[in-house]
Structure 1
Amino acid sequence: MRSRPGWILGCVLAPALLLTACTSGRDPATESTPSATDTRPGTSALAEGELRTRVQSALDAVTDKGGSMVESGVERVSDGVHTRPGLAEGATYKVTVVCAGKGAVDLDLTPAGRGSRKPVPCDGTVVFERFTAGALGRLEVRGRSGATGMIAWRVDKV
């Protein structure tokens, strides 16, 4: 029976010795640390959230709270904006777009089959465009090559 306590002690100490041997050679100076350019999903989601807040705040600061909003949203530049809002033909509307991130996007309105493309820089600048709605009006916002970030947009009846 005396050999049993020695065997139990050996089973408990062996893993502790192996664990110590495996971790004692680590050099903390060579371990990797997260950087500002880290590309883990949590990091990009955080940056996306900050950009979303920035574009939404800019849009809210310039839009009429009592106005008649038709449609609005916040999208990734990579997804763009593609909508056919229900607009009354012949009525006047204003679209407001703001982009934050890098590069630029193109705002493309096609009321009555006649498109008008307007560049929007992704630097937080708010861009307005007034238009008269025609049949099957369409609003498109597409990122230019290399553009990243978030887009906030709103269509109001004037």
Structure 2
Amino acid sequence: MSTARNRLAAPACTAAAVSILLLSSCSQSSDDHTNAKPSPSTSGTISPPGPSSTPDGQLIKRATSVVASVPGGALLEGGSERVKDGIHTRPVLREGKAYRLALACVGQGRALLTVVPKKSGADAVIPCDQAVVQQRIKGHGPVHIDVVGSKGTTGALAWRINEL
């Protein structure tokens, strides 16, 4: 014979049994716990997999921080790329204004900077040794700034254009 009390007790017992089962499956024995080494995720900082967790992402992050360490005026534009992708930007610079172009390459090899029109700035070689290469460029309307890695170059590029 089923009573209201028995009907309420059955789901409560089932819920308690499921809870105990779940807790026991997540627990370790005391022997395992004392010999266990902490997992890498117990540090308190969990970073989702993303660009900065890849070798290219780490190089991009380093190149960006190198360029960011250079003091400058008002930022016009900037960014970072893998060397194999290169930098291809077309900023419109105000006629007669002066700008500072800061570039860094982190990795191995060297990259080649091309500025068109030539009256805006000079071509240059950028070593991939974390050094910053800076150049003053002049505003003459649209300027083509291209940076490509020479054969066999690997790593990351970062750049920033500031108004002076």
Same fold, judged at TM 0.5 (above): yes
1:115 Cα deviation after fit: 6.1
Match of 2:60 among 52, 63, 68: 52
Matched residue, 2:87: 81
Within the candidate set 141, 152, 158, 1:152 is matched to 158
Alpha-carbon separation, structure 1, partners of 2:140 and 2:94 = 8
What letter matches 1:46 in structure 2? T
User: Mind listing any 5+ residue stretches in structure 2 that lack a counterpart?
Assistant: 1-49
Cα distance in 2 for partners of 1:112, 1:142 equals 17
Pick the aligned partner of 2:141 from 132, 135, 144: 135
Does 1:62 pair with 2:41?
no
Does 2:113 correspond to 1:107?
yes
Distance 2:82 2:95 in 1: 29
| 8 Å CA contact retained: 1:111, 1:133 | no
Structure 1, residues 77-135: CA drift from partner, whole Å, max 9, x if none? 11111111121011101100000011000111123666621000011010000021213
Give the aligned length: 114
CA contact (8 A) 2:106 2:128 kept: yes
TM-score (norm 2): 0.63
Q: TM (normalized to structure 1)?
A: 0.66
* Cα deviations by residue, 1:25-78 (Å, 9 ceiling, x for unpaired): xxxxxxxxxxxxxxxxx9xx62112211211111111133xx211110010111
Is the 2:106–2:130 contact (alpha carbons within 8 Å) kept by the matching residues of 1?
yes
Q: Distance in 2 between matches of 1:109 and 1:131?
A: 9
